[in-house]
Structure 1
């Protein structure tokens, strides 16, 4: 029985057979909405959420097994594999644990400890770490050579070796990781060289919050400020707690070597352990914040796509503007362009002409409703139209992404003889008629689904938003006689 299938079944509390069937359907090219809707009889009634969980867990475990195989191969080729080490690698259930085990065997650029070993100081390091009462200063004098000319140099090299051993000890890293998990604090301070420019991040100039409490939007905000150079940040428990943990494991009291090992432990934490685990937790918190934000973005997109369509009404659609005027188009019941015009409602000497144009278009094309883009000048345009008392229902339409669509190849194919302003206004009108049919033409990321959408993992965001589009299309269904190629694809 496939071990990955077993793990997925256990973690999701499903049957192994359900896992096998879903993964087989994926290999055949089936999508999550298709499986959820049309293969309920074979999957045992799994819904979209469960099927997505199976896919995600399978990806995670597959990557874990690939990494496990690579690590076993690398250590075996080094001639350092033992039964105990093999058992530890086989038992590792996460990438973090696996990487901790691999760390001492991982090829790395030359370290202080490696230099010390090359200078013959490993036996001295072992003697110091044993803390068995030996006079380590006297012992250090016996390790002098061309590179090591004083006992102090020898003891410094021994401390470097011990610090690396502490850092690479899997048990130590597991305990320190648990400490981070329980009590680490996410801190941010302002970069003193950029205090004025950093004003928009003033809430984070002197900020701290436990990592298990900090919400995703704060994580993304602080990381943005950090990447822009306005903030400095740190993720760590209180240093005294971390050092106490190390001393309990590594330091024996009241020996000639005790102080040396304490210094090595402090160096291990400050130079190696803390930066390493800070990076690990920063990445983990970023990933968690990304997933939470992406879930919100996907739900926002779903609500936009599944907005109630106005249906087949003849529309006046307006893309508002100030200096360049308001691009105005007339659409028939199927969203086909009948006419386009330009009105200037923000220039007093052109108001009468603009009013006459609107009334004429409504009468000539028998228009039944009005769509107004909600961007720049949207509210002012809406107020202008209300004063005309046209007797038609009017709707403010989310115009995010309309400019992206208007300059796209799709828009050029649909309207080769019209410029981007006409295409944008048509898109606004069609969004009111049938949001799903129109919005599928646009990259979901361009629709404006959330505040931090440009800060999250873009690959994962695209995957989630694309999946949301597919899910919405499957939920609503399409009319094969009238659906566009974009909707069908």
Structure 2
């Protein structure tokens, strides 16, 4: 009766009275009406169409409201800005949503999604009411009950889930791009490196690796307090540099890194070692690697600290080859990485690693199994088999030799061969990205030009004389081959450049507003970029300080690993917060860009003139 909303011979009150049955728990007409209202409320709650409409309204007009919990403990006031915070659901960015969720997990905050009850109830009334009658007041009560008791909380839950999925997806995308930039960071190349893992009380751990990353020797020096043995430290460094023909010194950016850097620079100058350069290297994840199963397999007899120093040295030589051994979540380039869907995150990060490894290519004779496992077609098992075969039979001389490895069949070879490199092998194309199945085409090119393949590789300018119509290959394959032969064995990564930190600035206390610093971008988020300026704590360049033009996304301007110049805006030694600006060092734009949506407002005189002109035309 109530739901049909159709006039009947008897009134709603009379119909309700006819349903009284004390044995069934219906004590009176009012109880019957109350029961009917509850049934209507349940019908509304289960109506998919109504829920969809309410969900859209809450998404469009709802407000995320966060407040401080009554029993909150937030000594460092990490979540202070969210103690009383409101922002529209539709516009809240992922990093703020993630911060609120983290505060809720830490029992510091609680948040709700608020929507004016009148708006939701009005929508329901518009969808439910067909015509007025004595049922109308009861339907209104049922609608109000459905919203307050059932729909509000459940729709909130759905919106919270949608916000989580949206912020998770954005955080994972940010993590992916940061990781990609870090993995593709410029390598210093094949040179002997002496790495120093700085320390004060326990000394600085040293490890030396050769041009291929092979571990040679380790030791400890004590150039800092309390021993201050700079003479002994200099003697040890000099002996190692001479003995192993060291070309670079890599210093981990942890505790005492700036003090160690200053000592090393002075040492190099005093000993006239101007052909040896030193650089501070991001050591994030090195300690995780040193305690990992991979590190134990590589160096079972070495201490964790020595393994960490070896990782620092290799990271300077080739960041990609070393970082693939470390769980990406330990590298420190994620945005709230521990708060997002871990399975989705892991899958996404593995895809990025595979993409980077295959884009750069892998040296079949020097790569570890940890790197080989990311090559297309190769898994951990076959990667280990390749290394075992190499250890037992010596260096690979050709790509075809890979088929002799147990577990490498024709299909695996077809997938992997183009991404594997062999330097100084039997076939000159084995050092390029040209797939073995295309070697015959390159042979045709060389023959048509009266050259050998080796001569063609050494003279890429000759490729312009190739007559494509004579070659038995489709246009896409030819384009790929020609592109590779123009720059054979090219590395897509940029040339290595180290940031130059200011000598007189080593701690936060040394920073002063107005200082101009050089640093390396360590992390890029939706709200800005973190930059290592050599004081053990990264500074933040807020998105509004990245450029003198409007920036929608920080990744338009900076990327992880990039060397940038910044100006110090403010320093808070208590909270270790450093505000930086790149915009302050840029010239004002000739034509300033306005934020999209903020249209310039006409002056009063201009508005009156426009109105006057409009009336004149009538």
Structure 2 length-normalised TM: 0.56
In the alignment, which residue of structure 1 is the partner of 2:71? 193
Match status 1:467 vs 2:351: yes
Q: 1:439 aligns with which of 300, 318, 323?
A: 323
Q: For the residues of structure 1 that align with 2:56 and 2:187, how far apart are their CA atoms?
A: 52
Match status 1:326 vs 2:204: yes
In the alignment, which residue of structure 1 is the partner of 2:18? 142
How many matched pairs?
Answer: 364
Task: Show CA shifts across 1:281-338 (max 9, x none).
Answer: 1111111111111111111111111111111111110112232222111111111121
Q: 2:244 aligns with which of 361, 365, 378?
A: 365
Q: For the residues of structure 2 that align with 1:228 and 1:153, how far apart are their CA atoms?
A: 45
In the alignment, which residue of structure 1 is the partner of 2:507? none
Conserved 8 A contact 1:373-1:428: yes
Conserved 8 A contact 1:313-1:332: yes
Distance 1:345 1:451, change over 3 A: farther
Q: Which aligned pairs between 1:71-110 and structure 2 lie closer than 5 A?
A: none
Task: Show CA shifts across 1:199-236 (max 9, x none).
Answer: 32111111111122111000111111122222121124
1:424 is displaced (CA, Å) by 0.7
Q: 2:184 aligns with which of 306, 318, 330?
A: 306
In the alignment, which residue of structure 1 is the partner of 2:158? 280
Q: For the residues of structure 2 that align with 1:422 and 1:221, how far apart are their CA atoms?
A: 37
Conserved 8 A contact 1:187-1:207: yes
Q: 1:482 aligns with which of 328, 350, 366?
A: 366
Distance 1:195 1:321, change over 3 A: closer
Find the residue that maps to 2:202 and give its secondary structure: coil
Q: Which aligned pairs between 1:203-214 and structure 2 lie closer than 5 A?
A: 203-214=81-92
In the alignment, which residue of structure 2 is the partner of 1:427? 311
Match status 1:127 vs 2:127: no
1:128 is displaced (CA, Å) by 5.9
Q: For the residues of structure 1 that align with 2:61 and 2:76, how far apart are their CA atoms?
A: 29
RMSD: 2.0
Q: For the residues of structure 2 that align with 1:429 and 1:198, how far apart are their CA atoms?
A: 36
In the alignment, which residue of structure 2 is the partner of 1:356? 235
In the alignment, which residue of structure 1 is the partner of 2:597? none
Conserved 8 A contact 1:371-1:396: yes
Q: For the residues of structure 2 that align with 1:462 and 1:401, how far apart are their CA atoms?
A: 16
Match status 1:296 vs 2:174: yes
1:421 is displaced (CA, Å) by 0.8
Q: For the residues of structure 1 that align with 2:297 and 2:225, how far apart are their CA atoms?
A: 34
Q: 2:118 aligns with which of 237, 240, 244?
A: 240
Distance 1:315 1:149, change over 3 A: same
Task: Show CA shifts across 1:74-104 (max 9, x none).
Answer: xxxxxxxxxxxxxxxxxxxxxxxxxxxxxxx
Find the residue that maps to 2:188 and give its secondary structure: coil
1:431 is displaced (CA, Å) by 0.6
Conserved 8 A contact 1:187-1:233: yes
Match status 1:416 vs 2:300: yes
In the alignment, which residue of structure 2 is the partner of 1:158? 36
1:135 is displaced (CA, Å) by 3.8
Structure with greater strand percent:
2
In the alignment, which residue of structure 1 is the partner of 2:137? 259
In the alignment, which residue of structure 2 is the partner of 1:83? none
Conserved 8 A contact 2:171-2:335: no
Q: For the residues of structure 2 that align with 1:385 and 1:198, how far apart are their CA atoms?
A: 36
Q: Which aligned pairs between 1:109-124 and structure 2 lie closer than 5 A?
A: none
Task: Show CA shifts across 1:28-73 (max 9, x none).
Answer: xxxxxxxxxxxxxxxxxxxxxxxxxxxxxxxxxxxxxxxxxxxxxx
Match status 1:388 vs 2:267: yes
Match status 1:230 vs 2:108: yes
Conserved 8 A contact 1:190-1:198: no
1:388 is displaced (CA, Å) by 2.3
Conserved 8 A contact 2:74-2:108: no
In the alignment, which residue of structure 1 is the partner of 2:613? none
In the alignment, which residue of structure 2 is the partner of 1:23? none
Conserved 8 A contact 1:186-1:211: yes
In the alignment, which residue of structure 2 is the partner of 1:453? 337
Structure with greater helix percent:
1
Distance 1:131 1:167, change over 3 A: farther
* Structure with higher RCO (Cα < 8 A, 6+ apart): 1
Distance 1:128 1:140, change over 3 A: farther
Task: Show CA shifts across 1:339-384 (max 9, x none).
Answer: 1111223315333222332233223322111101112332232222
1:414 is displaced (CA, Å) by 0.9
Structure 1 length-normalised TM: 0.70
Find the residue that maps to 2:251 and give its secondary structure: strand
Distance 1:196 1:462, change over 3 A: closer
Larger Rg: 2
Q: For the residues of structure 1 that align with 2:5 and 2:76, how far apart are their CA atoms?
A: 51
Find the residue that maps to 1:386 and give its secondary structure: helix
1:387 is displaced (CA, Å) by 2.9
Q: 1:341 aligns with which of 207, 214, 219?
A: 219
- Structure 1 residues 164-173 or 374-383, which shifts more? 374-383
In structure 1, the gaps of 5 or more residues are 1-125
- Structure 1 residues 151-160 or 260-269, which shifts more? 151-160
Distance 1:129 1:163, change over 3 A: farther
Conserved 8 A contact 1:163-1:265: yes
